[in-house]
Structure 1
Amino acid sequence: MNINTLQTLLFVPANRPERFAKALSSGADAVIIDLEDAVPPAEKDAARSTLAHWLTGQPPASVLVRINGTDTPWFNQDAALCRADAVAAIVVPKAEDPDALTELANASDKPLLPFIESARALALLNDIATANGVARLLFGQLDMALDLAMDYPPPAGELQDQTPFLPIRSQLVATSRAHELAAPLDAVYTAFNDDEGLQNYVREGAKLGFGGVLLVHPRQVAPATQALAPTQAQINWADKVMAANEQTNGAVVAVNEHMVDSPVVARARRILQHNRH
């Protein structure tokens, strides 16, 4: 599993092992088995035990696991569980301590995907991004909204306005790029029956530079995958740009009354490469 190229990552609760197979066959690029938010405190130990047994029968590097936070009583045992060969990477919630991330990476020898979901995490974002073992950043929108006392999420049926989160989301993208991490993964879209809303959300994230999205239900996989693919209009535009570039041997040229120079050509090439995959 190449952590850097994952685009659709589907959560499944660790206390629902009957859902593991369905999640793995959903078409998502990766499955995150969740020991944290999805599992009530009284079920944490049983869920970990069940997951540990299940992992022994899985191929190497086949799933990701979200552990409980470093400040919880379940952290040490969760971290030990992640040494299993079937665990490709560790998803770390409420990451705020770069030193704790380094210790976890050294102890587990696994890539880390820390959730950025608090003001403190934003303040330490550069240190978190450069901590040993960190592979990609994840955006935890719901916890971030709670920490910042934001008026989000709205009541069911109302528009999920993402405008207040634009500075934070852009900060994750820019910091990831500055430290040569793969593009970050965008937060979950909680309305799992709203395909149109999900697709608009995913496309907006892609415009900002996110490399993919976290999902909470198998039925979100197909619309999210479609939203992440280049549109036919983008492909047609990219074909025209590349054709014009070849005809002029790289000189600045106009396509549809828009100037085309090297950054535009690079963008067109990226679209066509993405389409081929």
Structure 2
Amino acid sequence: MMEPRSWLFVPADSERKIAKALDSAADALIFDLEDSVAPGEKVRAREVLKGLARRSGGPQWWVRVNPLRTDEHRLDLDLLGIADLHGIVLPKAESGADVAELAHRTGSIPVHAIVTETAASLFGLLSYRDPNSPLAAMSWGAEDLSAALGASSKYDQSGEFSFTYKLARSLCLAGAVAADVQPVDGVFADFRDEAGLTAEARAAAREGFTAKLAIHPAQVEAINAAFSPSSEELAHAQSIVAAFAAQPGAGVLSVGGKMVDRPHLLQATRVLERAR
């Protein structure tokens, strides 16, 4: 399965927003049954999803269900018979045991876990490392974590995330890489600030994230661009791979006037994989 660059949330109770999302360039759509749908609209949201007709091609379809061990969660799982549903987005995950509990009901359907939305979740990021798990991606969220911690703001005086949220973000990245699943950066809330989104997405790509959550179709293009290797990055990666292919026994080589070693080869291989 292709790793999406952009994961676009869309409220499952809004046919209008779903139509716009389907026409976007998002690699994956997350039909949301959780936070963006009012309690009284959840039944209707499920009916809307049941009536969706799949087009040829297009983005992957994922569904964010309600949290484990809730009545709404059990009702959400009735949607798993929808054709072409790629996977489930599990909110409020606190450990790999939560993914295992979900998989006990859903089998091998891929899971994208949102892993930093409660206080307890910050202590379980290594527990997702399970080779038998259907886990495919991990992302982080600041909004629910902020509410869970009773914070009055997520930001420091400079306007950046406070240390706690930077920590959650870094733990998500490291936890996902340790589990060998896709690390997905969180949302950028101001969908009108394209420059800010672009800067944040590019920074996330430099750090090792390979995708980002989106909350509006207008964010998709900038996210896709940020997580697509540039022509210069591709050329450099190809030159490193070619150099080691020509001298497979070498530990260190000179490429473009700079010394590169095996970690550089691994990074170059990942760049080429992302391009494919």
Task: Using structure 1 for the length normalisation, give the TM-score.
Answer: 0.83
- SS in structure 2 at match of 1:5: coil
Mapped partners of 1:108, 1:27: distance in 2:
29
Distance 1:242 1:108 in 2: 40
Once the two structures are superposed, the pairs formed by residues 227-242 of structure 1 within 5 Å of their partners are 227-238=226-237, 241=240
Q: How is 1:4-19 mapped onto 2 (pairs within 5 angstroms)? A: 5-19=3-17
What percentage of aligned pairs have identical amino acids? 31
CA distance in 2, matches of 1:236, 1:134: 32
Give the match for residue 47 of structure 2. Answer: 49
Give secondary structure in 1 for the equivalent of 2:51.
helix
Query: Secondary structure in 1 aligned to 2:190?
Result: coil
* 1:114 Cα offset (Å): 1.6
Residues 13 and 44 in structure 2, CA contact (< 8 A), matched pair in contact too: yes
Q: How much has 1:132 moved relative to structure 2?
A: 3.8
Moved more, 243-252 or 8-17: 243-252
- 1:151–1:262 distance in 2 versus 1, CA, 3 Å: farther
Secondary structure of 1:253's counterpart equals: strand
Task: Provide the residue aligned with 1:169 in structure 2.
Answer: 169
Deviations 1:171-229 (A, max 9, x none): 2222222233x222111111111111111111221222212111001111111111112
Shift of the 254–129 alpha-carbon distance from structure 1 to 2, 3 Å rule, reads closer
2:145 aligns to what SS in structure 1? helix
How far apart in 2 are the matches of 1:176 and 1:135?
A: 9
Give the secondary structure class of the aligned counterpart of 2:135.
coil
Deviations 1:213-248 (A, max 9, x none): 110011111111111122344345445545665676
Aligned to 1:225: 224
User: Alpha carbons of 1:221 and 1:257: their partners in 2 closer, same or farther (altered >3 Å)?
Assistant: same
| Farther off after superposition, 102-111 or 4-13 | 102-111
Is 1:93 aligned with 2:94? Answer: no
Equivalent position of 1:197 in the other structure? 196
Q: Could you tell me which amino acid in structure 1 is paired with residue 78 of structure 2? A: A
User: Does the CA contact (< 8 Å) of 1:80 and 1:108 recur in 2?
Assistant: no
Cα contact 1:96–1:128 (8 A) shared by 2 = no
Unpaired runs of 5+ in structure 1? none
1:33 aligns with 2:43: no
Distance 2:129 2:144 in 1: 19
Matched, 1:58 2:54: yes
Task: Find the residue that maps to 2:30 and give its secondary structure.
Answer: strand
Cα 1:268/1:14, change in 2 over 3 Å: same
> Aligned with 1:219: secondary structure?
helix
Cα pair 1:59 1:86 within 8 Å, conserved: no
Distance 1:83 1:200 in 2: 39
Deviations 1:9-39 (A, max 9, x none): 1111011022223212211111110011111
Structure 2 match to 1:81:
79
The 3-state SS of whatever aligns with 2:68 is coil
- Tell me if 1:207 matches 2:206: yes
Indicate the residue corresponding to 2:19 in structure 1.
21
Matched, 1:267 2:267: yes
Whether the 8 Å contact between 2:31 and 2:61 is mirrored in structure 1 is yes
The CA deviation at 1:62 is 4.6
The answer as to whether partners of 2:128 and 2:179 remain within 8 angstroms in 1 is: no
Separation in 2, partners of 1:264, 1:97: 32
Look up the match of 1:252: 252
Give the whole-Å Cα distance in 2 for the aligned partners of 1:120 and 1:185. 20
- Equivalent residues of 2:113, 2:139 under 8 A apart: yes
Judged with a 3 Å threshold, the aligned counterparts in structure 2 of structure 1 residues 94 and 274 are, in CA distance, closer, same or farther, namely closer
In 1, Cα distance between equivalents of 2:245 and 2:179: 33
Runs (4+) off by over 6 Å: 246-249
Residue correspondences, number: 269
Instruction: Decide whether the 8 Å contact of 2:154 with 2:162 is kept in 1.
Output: no
